[in-house]
């Protein structure tokens, strides 16, 4: 396939974000400029209310307990111990401070950023007898350090006054080295838990999740490129390849597995907890590192999701072996999916699902952790809302792709709900029960790293002008650099945004296989039959008549192959 045909829509979309504005006249051209300014200031105040209270009552420990104005060390099992029982050398990992670094950079707070870097370089140590979750420590701590290092060394940000000497990268490398023993398994799949001081402990559990061992490549890959040490990327990539080799014949994966035997434990999965960021990292790692194998994995996985999990605008769970539905439920973590669909160019499908998530948000005032679709009711025990960012994240991506002001209204509604229901004197509290709005004494670090960040970027995206970032699953920005790519896809120029080069193209192929955006998305147009989604392949004839299955395409909604009926018409006859 020619280079002109092998366009990556996601890279195009990211470039459009970074070059959309003419700074000198943006406020004059944007009729919503005043509203955006007002809302961005509102979100800024939210962030600092959460951040300042953390620094006052919880720092240097992991997270804030805003109702009692105290702290919790939630990153490791040390969070279950009382203060007097903590190891003598343990002073906290300052998790919320690390998570806040990129948010401080985006807000332009050079002073707080520099103070945080100085404190971390002088006080943070990973030589502690603490059992930590590899996945959570990777996306929160390693990702936060790597992203902040890159931002600190970018002269255009002017975040430090010449005082930065790669201290965060030194810390990140030390942490990465402490991760490596977790990958020493017969399969190459890492243990879910590891002791930072002593490595994998005796009788450690061998059970982990798909996301737990398949969502390490962005942070560990970036660490390898920054340090020149290939071990981190190699370990994460080996685990990812092994995981992909365990997929079913339907290109579906389960939720939990055994890292020593490589056998599945839970065969049912979806796009929510336990597997969500696996899909996200396949695409984003392709963008960041240019690996073609990751694109091929993502393409197959995405089409399988659309075929076996999607039901209208909703996504249920299914058995990886048969594709049969298992659980009909919405989970709050699924709300990231529309944002990922925007990156791949499936904007219509993203908008459809996003509106349903927002409907549930409006119904309860926030997004409950689990909602039973088949019964149209809350899950009886998982009725909480821990300040999750996924709906705000997807809202940000959809606004960037469409510039539809409706998404600004969604963002304003989210901001108002958070201030109404979760803001307290000591920060922002999680909600224990969305039916009563009873509060829980916990301000998760991702509220600072993601929720506030995506809401702020929705209303003020000046940080993205002339820059090209991929955001990790924890909201930490990593720049797309040609030096990190095996083979950088052809550069996108403004002249390429509204049309595809008129080179010979395979007929009746999907937008995903051609790597072009579907028709009508962001003013993109194709030179042949309109493609309604990234998996859509039109029928051979516009009247849908056929002589055989070869004349039929792929349905734009379900991504299922259409077949030719006895009457000679293409349709989803086999699924009726």
State the Cα–Cα distance between residues 367 and 26, nearest whole angstrom.
33
Q: pLDDT value at position 435? A: 96
Predicted structure pTM score: 0.88
Q: Is 227 helix (H, G, I), strand (E, B) or coil?
A: helix
Cβ neighbours of residue 237 closer than 8 Å, sequence gap 6 or more? 217, 221
User: What Å distances lie between residue 442 and 148, 233, 445, CA to CA?
Assistant: 25, 34, 9
What residues in the chain have per-residue pLDDT under 50?
1-7, 19-27, 78-90, 488-506, 519-528, 576
State the Cα–Cα distance between residues 404 and 351, nearest whole angstrom.
11
Burial 416-436 (b: 16+ CB within 10 A, else e): ebbeebbeeebbbbbbbebee
Active site residue 136: yes
Q: Which of 62, 233, 276, 440 is catalytic?
A: 276
Active site residue 276: yes
| Cα within 13 Å of Cα(39), Cβ side | 25
Active site residue 258: no
Q: Quick check: 392 and 411 in contact, CB under 8 A?
A: yes
Q: Quick check: 514 and 5 in contact, CB under 8 A?
A: yes
Q: pLDDT value at position 91? A: 55
**What torsion, rounded to 10 degrees, do the Cα atoms 204, 332, 143, 107 define?**
-150
Active site residue 490: no
User: What Å distances lie between residue 448 and 96, 233, 419, 547, 564, CA to CA?
Assistant: 7, 27, 14, 58, 53
Q: Which of 63, 73, 369, 440 is catalytic?
A: 369
State the Cα–Cα distance between residues 431 and 428, nearest whole angstrom.
10
Token pair 């790293």 is found at 449
Helix (H) or strand (E) holding 245: helix 231-245
Pairing of strands 438-440, 430-433: antiparallel
Q: pLDDT value at position 501? A: 34
Q: Which of 30, 77, 114, 136 is catalytic?
A: 136
**299-327 pLDDT tens trace:** 999 999 999 999 999 999 999 999 999 99
State the Cα–Cα distance between residues 576 and 568, nearest whole angstrom.
16
Annotation: binding site for Ca(2+):
473
State the Cα–Cα distance between residues 226 and 224, nearest whole angstrom.
5
Annotation: binding site:
473
């Amino acid at each position: 396939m020619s280079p002109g045909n092998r366009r990556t829509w996601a890279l195009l979309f990211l470039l459009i974000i970074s070059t959309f504005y003419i700074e000198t006249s943006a406020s004059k051209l944007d009729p919503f400029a005043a509203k955006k300014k007002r809302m961005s200031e509102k979100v800024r105040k939210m962030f600092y209310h959460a951040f300042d209270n953390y620094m006052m009552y919880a720092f240097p420990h992991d997270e804030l307990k805003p109702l009692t104005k105290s702290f919790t060390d939630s990153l490791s099992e040390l969070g279950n111990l009382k203060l007097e029982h903590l190891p003598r050398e343990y002073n906290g990992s300052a998790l919320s401070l690390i998570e806040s670094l990129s948010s401080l950079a985006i807000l332009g707070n050079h002073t707080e950023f520099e103070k945080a870097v100085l404190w971390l370089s002088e006080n943070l140590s990973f030589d502690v007898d603490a059992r930590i979750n590899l996945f959570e420590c990777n996306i929160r701590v390693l990702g936060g350090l790597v992203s902040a290092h890159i931002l600190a060394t970018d002269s255009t940000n002017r975040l430090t006054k010449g005082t930065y000497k790669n201290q965060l990268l030194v810390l990140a490398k030390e942490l990465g080295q402490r991760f490596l023993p977790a990958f020493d398994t017969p399969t190459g799949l890492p243990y879910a838990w590891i002791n930072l001081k002593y490595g994998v402990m005796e009788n450690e559990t061998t059970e982990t999740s798909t996301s737990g061992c398949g969502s390490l490549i962005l942070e560990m890959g970036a660490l390898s490129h920054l340090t020149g040490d290939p071990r981190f990327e190699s370990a994460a990539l080996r685990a990812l390849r092994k995981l992909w080799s365990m997929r079913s014949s339907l290109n579906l994966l389960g939720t939990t597995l055994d890292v020593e035997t490589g056998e599945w434990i839970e065969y049912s999965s979806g796009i929510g907890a336990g597997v969500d960021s696996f899909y996200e990292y396949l695409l984003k790692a392709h963008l960041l590192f240019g690996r073609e194998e990751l694109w091929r994995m993502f393409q197959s996985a995405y089409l399988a999701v659309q075929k076996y999990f999607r039901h209208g605008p909703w996504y249920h769970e299914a058995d990886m072996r048969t594709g049969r539905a298992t659980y009909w439920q919405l989970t709050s973590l699924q709300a990231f999916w529309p944002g990922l669909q925007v990156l791949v160019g499936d904007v219509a499908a993203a908008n459809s699902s996003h509106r349903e998530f927002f409907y549930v948000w409006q119904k309860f005032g926030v997004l409950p952790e689990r909602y039973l679709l088949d019964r149209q009711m809350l899950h009886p025990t998982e009725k909480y809302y821990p300040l999750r960012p996924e709906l705000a994240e997807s809202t940000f991506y959809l606004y960037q792709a469409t510039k539809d002001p409706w998404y600004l209204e969604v963002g304003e509604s989210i901001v108002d709900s958070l201030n109404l229901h979760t803001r307290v004197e000591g920060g922002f509290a999680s909600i224990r029960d969305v039916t009563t709005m009873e509060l829980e004494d916990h301000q998760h670090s991702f509220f600072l790293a993601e929720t506030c960040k995506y809401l702020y970027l929705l209303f003020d995206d000046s940080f993205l002008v002339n820059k090209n970032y991929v955001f990790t699953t924890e909201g930490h920005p990593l720049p797309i650099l040609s030096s990190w790519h095996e083979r950088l896809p052809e550069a996108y120029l403004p002249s390429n945004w509204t049309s595809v080069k008129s080179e010979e193209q395979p007929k009746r192929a999907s937008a995903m296989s051609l790597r072009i955006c579907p028709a009508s998305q962001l003013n993109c147009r194709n030179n042949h039959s309109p493609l309604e989604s990234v998996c859509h392949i039109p029928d051979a004839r516009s009247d849908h008549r056929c002589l055989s299955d070869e004349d039929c395409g792929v349905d734009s909604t379900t991504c299922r192959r259409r077949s030719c009926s006895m009457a000679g018409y293409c349709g989803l006859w086999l699924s009726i």
